[in-house]
Structure 1
């Protein structure tokens, strides 16, 4: 089965590369990925998948399904396609959809006589709105047993850790006044926002080492000669341990409230998105890496333990999942950079995208041909989920 699947992906190479380049040349921001989602959905429909568009109330989300036989395992293939503001596809998301498309087509064509289902989920807005969280809330992903993704990277590898993440918008409201004539009549929302930044810096000394805290001014509210009646900040808190992050979040709220108290302003704290830490499934990781070696993937490295955050981890809190990261830039080049962007249409990117499709499809072939592997995946997930809000991996890459 695996040889047939690999050969089919190679047959599709030209189409997949053209699609990746087209998405790269037409970047769309989160929730605006109309062209990319349409191109991917149209392709899946053309290859015989049953496609539902605009699912979960999101115009650019879709589900494409193919079922062979009855009652077999269901494999979810997830892809993102949103770009970055002012940076285009310096995230590498343009290659995800075509990669998943190649794996899905190959598995469908090799399905004869086997009982299983392939479900492709188009998941928008990873960069800005954590689209997968919205899709989970609307009941998506309940129809799959295992989830796979591919992401471009500086090495071919898997992950054993991910930072939990809570993203807040904070709005301070004060009283406007002329800063030169009657500043005493004003209450500065911008002063409150700046004080909140200072409070975060003082908190930084008193948290565990893996905590990350970021902030920026979204809206200062007024020119320099006015007392600002409204100021808006964006804050992100991260940790590998969601339980501990909740404690940090409680202290964060006190800082915001304290800044408002000191400036006689009011504050509104809005939780925008929440991403969970990773529940690593080492059985899936091993399968992906075995297939990476099999297809000769470039720049193979040990698992990543220093990572950012992803809404894919929220999916992996409700079912077992894993992501293969494919090398297309030197390991020293980080995401959301000019180097990532410049590599987006290179031959290495194209080759890694095709190999990523083979790796995911190959891992699914292994799970189909060795049912005990799928049993091991489910057992590992059940055991690790008991401690889902704490980092469960404690191996050599901790």
Structure 2
């Protein structure tokens, strides 16, 4: 099969299934499910590839809502990552319904040319991107061991071919004090809510001195039950982000001192625990990203410049862990959300609108054609396979 024939074939395959893919996206959008509980969404994502003859293994890496669906037996195995978890209260305000449908479209298209291009197509259902780090857990468990390169797309407010993201660490902090009557015997109490307050003040003052690219944000999830009882327990959730893992380690050390300050100032005990794997920084493969950029331009999209890409990290994602392990990309495909950004209610509504439907179809087309380009370029194919062998 010639290069042009393969490129034409995968695009035609996506567009031929566009109705099914849009229906899948809307169905997932209508029944949002949270991290590690995406049972309906996972089943829906598997259905179309099961019909196409993919070999599906459920419960990958011991995760009930993870799966691997494989087609072909070529020497180059390429993974396509599907996300389908939603946000509490906001539903699919990150557009993971679009991600799942575009991943399925990409996999179905590549199945059409797998034999001719000596490809193994691996669709990976990856739960809990919003909280839980499904990809990091799957990577550690070996679910990506046979994969030489990985691709996915993410909807956003603009087109970005070489998107990057920040490293992330999330922790739960608990303070344990002593109850007492707030009026009769306050001196007998140790106020865990005050410990949380001291911590928030310390973190607020620290922000002035954070290094470039470092961020912290958090909430008090528990701060007492009754105003006339000294709270014996408080709880906080904090997220720390940085440009890279080295900077993140430094930030975590400084934040640890803030957490300790709350305990020291109030006489409370405290504990800090990680609530999910560390998300590593997203470092896309330059060659794959450049090829995806050309696909964007071919479809009359207008990806932002490299200068803007460098200064505009796209939050944090466990796909960063995959990009640290192998050549991979996570481009942003823009949708019209009336100026809203991800994680806003307006974006959730837009994620099932006409612009989102167009993004998922074009996203699948661009991803499939990018993989075809990799498979048909001997030097780049050799490069990713040599890196895979080195792993």
TM range (shorter): over 0.9
Q: 1:122 to 1:164 in 2, by over 3 A?
A: same
1:104 aligns to 2:145 (yes or no) = no
Once the two structures are TM-superposed, the CA of residue 191 in structure 1 deviates from its matched residue by 0.7
Q: What secondary structure does 2:360 align onto? A: helix
Partner of 2:151: 148
Once the two structures are TM-superposed, the CA of residue 125 in structure 1 deviates from its matched residue by 0.9
Partner of 1:233: 236
Once the two structures are TM-superposed, the CA of residue 96 in structure 1 deviates from its matched residue by 1.1
Q: 1:351 to 1:277 in 2, by over 3 A?
A: same
8 Å CA contact 2:326, 2:388 repeated in 1: yes
TM-score by length of 2: 0.93
Q: Aligned pairs, how many?
A: 381
1:351 aligns to 2:358 (yes or no) = yes
8 Å CA contact 1:165, 1:309 repeated in 2: yes
Q: What secondary structure does 2:85 align onto? A: coil
Which of 263, 270, 286 matches 2:290?
286
Once the two structures are TM-superposed, the CA of residue 380 in structure 1 deviates from its matched residue by 9.3
1:312 aligns to 2:319 (yes or no) = yes
- Structure 1 residues 34-183: aligned runs within 5 Å: 34-68=39-73, 70=74, 72-183=75-186
Deviations, residues 285-331 of structure 1 (Å, cap 9, x unaligned): 1011112222x153432253322111110111111110121111258
Deviates more, 1:371-380 or 1:121-130: 371-380
Instruction: Measure, in 2, the Cα distance between the counterparts of 1:161 and 1:8.
Output: 29
Deviations, residues 236-263 of structure 1 (Å, cap 9, x unaligned): 1111021122112112112212221111
Partner of 1:367: 374
Once the two structures are TM-superposed, the CA of residue 42 in structure 1 deviates from its matched residue by 2.3
1:338 aligns to 2:345 (yes or no) = yes
8 Å CA contact 1:76, 1:147 repeated in 2: yes
Once the two structures are TM-superposed, the CA of residue 379 in structure 1 deviates from its matched residue by 8.1
Partner of 2:263: 260
Partner of 2:281: 277
Provide the aligned C-alpha RMSD in A.
2.0
Instruction: Measure, in 2, the Cα distance between the counterparts of 1:338 and 1:278.
Output: 26
Q: 1:339 to 1:378 in 2, by over 3 A?
A: farther
Deviations, residues 101-132 of structure 1 (Å, cap 9, x unaligned): 11111111223433111111000111121211
TM-score by length of 1: 0.91
Instruction: Measure, in 1, the Cα distance between the counterparts of 2:206 and 2:388.
Output: 35
Instruction: Measure, in 1, the Cα distance between the counterparts of 2:147 and 2:72.
Output: 12
Q: What secondary structure does 1:139 align onto? A: coil
Partner of 2:332: 325
8 Å CA contact 1:329, 1:339 repeated in 2: no
Instruction: Measure, in 2, the Cα distance between the counterparts of 1:39 and 1:371.
Output: 36
Instruction: Measure, in 2, the Cα distance between the counterparts of 1:54 and 1:351.
Output: 31
Deviations, residues 3-62 of structure 1 (Å, cap 9, x unaligned): 011111111011111111111111111111111100111221111100011111111111
Partner of 1:396: none
Instruction: Measure, in 1, the Cα distance between the counterparts of 2:327 and 2:179.
Output: 52
Once the two structures are TM-superposed, the CA of residue 284 in structure 1 deviates from its matched residue by 1.1
Query: Which structure 1 residue ranges, 5 or more long, are not aligned?
Result: 386-398
Instruction: Measure, in 1, the Cα distance between the counterparts of 2:230 and 2:99.
Output: 47
